[in-house]
Amino acid sequence: GAGVSQSPSNKVTEKGKDVELRCDPISGHTALYWYRQSLGQGLEFLIYFQGNSAPDKSGLPSDRFSAERTGGSVSTLTIQRTQQEDSAVYLCASSLEGRFWNGYTFGSGTRLTVV
């Protein structure tokens, strides 16, 4: 597509429920990243999918967080048993790799509120 698409744009969920956040990267972008941003803070790296390589999961804050990328395209970030501290904006980005790499294109994010 023309840009990175994220859905839903807003999600309110009850504590303890599971949520799934979706990211549709730019067609042809082999790299996909998830970050989260708490209110007034910088971006915290979560996970990075690079082509066919094993993902870099080093930023996932707990085993309640997982992500997958099917067919090298769409990615889903799943948070199980949500907690109030999970409330944040979850941002997805994609990019080319190699010598064509020129920074990220971000989606508009999913604002998650856990009540």
Residues that bind other proteins (CB under 8 A): 4, 31, 33, 35, 37, 39, 41-43, 45, 48, 50, 56, 89, 91, 93, 95, 97, 101-109
Cβ neighbour number for residue 45 with a 10 Å cutoff: 13
Nearest residue to 45 via CA among 62, 57, 31, 28 = 57
* Residue 28 beta carbon to other proteins: minimum distance, rounded to whole angstroms: 15
CB of 88 to other proteins, least distance (A): 10
Q: How far apart are CA 97 and CA 74, in angstroms?
A: 17
Kindly state the smallest distance separating residue 19's Cβ from other proteins, in Å: 18
Tell me whether residue 17 or residue 113 sits nearer to other proteins (CB atom). 113
The residue among 5 and 80 lying less far from other proteins, judged by its C-beta, is 5
Nearest CA-CA partner of 20 in 58, 68, 73, 54: 68
Query: Quick one: 56 or 74, whose CB is closer to other proteins?
Result: 56
11 vs 104, beta carbon nearer other proteins: 104
What are the structure tokens assigned to 28, written together? Answer: 């042809």
- The CA-atom distances, in angstroms, between 94 and each of 27, 31, 81 are 9, 5, 27
Question: In the complex, what is the shortest distance from the CB of residue 14 to other proteins, in angstroms, rounded to a whole number?
Answer: 23
